[in-house]
Amino acid sequence: MVKINLARDIYWVGAVDWNIRDFHGYITSRGSTYNAYLILDDKVTLIDTVKHTFSDDLIAHISEIINPEKIDYIIVNHVEMDHSSSLPRIAKIAKNATIFSSERGKDALIEHYGPDFTGVKTVKNGEELKLGERTLKFIDATMLHWPDSMFTYIIEDKILMPNDAFGQHLASGGRFDDEVDDHVLMEEATKYYANILMPLGPLVARKIQEVVQSGLTCCMIAPSHGIIWRKDPDKIIKAYTSWAAGETKTKIAIVYDTMWGSTDKMARAISEGAISEGVEVKMLKMRSSDNSEAITEILEAKAVLVGSPTLNNGMFPTVGSFMTYAVGLKPKDKIWGFFGSFGWGGGAVRGMSEMARKAGFEVHEPGLEIKYVPDEEDLKKCLDLGKQIAKEVKA
């Protein structure tokens, strides 16, 4: 492999997972990477590892640069197994290496990999570690996105290694933002934020503010998934600042499913109403789309209209799954509306509204229910609902 330098004596030694399509339920249609970094200095330092199924790649990439036995320090920014599950193997090879993590990281390492990790040294927010010519600074990143998370900053090179933050699930031949299609990169960065970091928006905003106020500048942001931000690190900082603030477009996401086409007809009429008001609309039928795609569309939407036919007095299963996923990710400051067809007792619209209210969402009342098949009058109600929500979105 061609050695990949971030700066002099700082290398990418991670792995590209071209074929992963399901990352604990997040549909990764463009694969992913597990980024690890090696710094050659008086103390040879490895920052993070890779998913255990790629440990051969990690070891091969390090071996092209230095004998892995010579690693002195291993920094564990985050214990989730996509980044730490090669650690037991690396620690056996680099027998004399000292492992550093946050305090919670140490507990989590022991809980994942057993008592071999009781010797891990813990570091606190702001603590520095001299490697020789270079110095690492550790930044507490509790709950971004696990309790153990921390960022590592290389002071002399101004390179931030924030682990999961600012990442994307994107496999590619290029490792840097100037080597990949910008549109694809931002699409995946958006999807990643929506599916991983959306519920942590206030923490993200606070952390960015804290880092900016501390005077720390980043020439490069090297996350643990996807592309390294070299050309324009400010671009992803600005995008995170906007998402964390809950900034939206005049856009409505219509998420629905259908049994015999009635809820589909309703969804189409609602979309026509909204479009006639000049609002951007995105429709997703949940047997053709997945939850990760739908939540990505919701990130920048001002309103979300969810449609479900009633099945066995409740929601259609694909819509029920979406509602569970959405409630967990807590999208902020959106208008939610519900609609659907029913045959006799109904229940789907009521169930969705109750679930949304319980989650603290702003719910447009009343929901719109149509018996069996919508007639012209019913479709007019749908059209009007689309127009009305569009007006609220534009307000």
The contact set with ligand FEO (CB under 6 A) reads 78, 80, 82-83, 145-146, 164, 224-225
Active site residue 164: yes
Residue nearest to ligand FEO (CB): 80
For residues 105 and 121, is the Cβ–Cβ distance under 8 A?
A: no
Of the pair 135, 190, the CB lying nearest ligand FEO is at: 190
Active site residue 42: no
Q: Which residues contact 187 (CB under 8 A, 6 or more apart)?
A: none
* Residue 185 vs residues 195, 260, 329, 377: alpha-carbon distances, Å: 15, 38, 22, 45
Omega before residue 145 within 30° of 0, cis: yes
CA 44 to CA 124: how far, in whole Å? Answer: 21
Q: What letter would DSSP give residue 141?
A: -
Active site residue 80: yes
Q: Which residues contact 234 (CB under 8 A, 6 or more apart)?
A: none
**Which of 61, 83, 145, 364 does the annotation list as catalytic?**
145
Question: How far is CA 138 from its chain centroid?
Answer: 22
Of the pair 23, 176, the CB lying nearest ligand FEO is at: 23
Of the pair 21, 394, the CB lying nearest ligand FEO is at: 21
- Shortest Å distance, C-beta 24 to ligand FEO: 9
Active site residue 145: yes
Active site residue 82: yes
**Which of 11, 37, 153, 192 does the annotation list as catalytic?**
192
Active site residue 24: yes
**Which of 34, 73, 78, 177 does the annotation list as catalytic?**
78
Which two three-digit tokens encode residue 304?
Answer: 């979300």
- Shortest Å distance, C-beta 36 to ligand FEO: 12
Active site residue 61: no
- Shortest Å distance, C-beta 223 to ligand FEO: 9
> Of 307, 294, 295, 276, which Cα lies nearest the Cα of 390?
276
Of the pair 78, 265, the CB lying nearest ligand FEO is at: 78
Q: Which residues are catalytic?
A: 24, 78, 80, 82, 145, 164, 192, 225
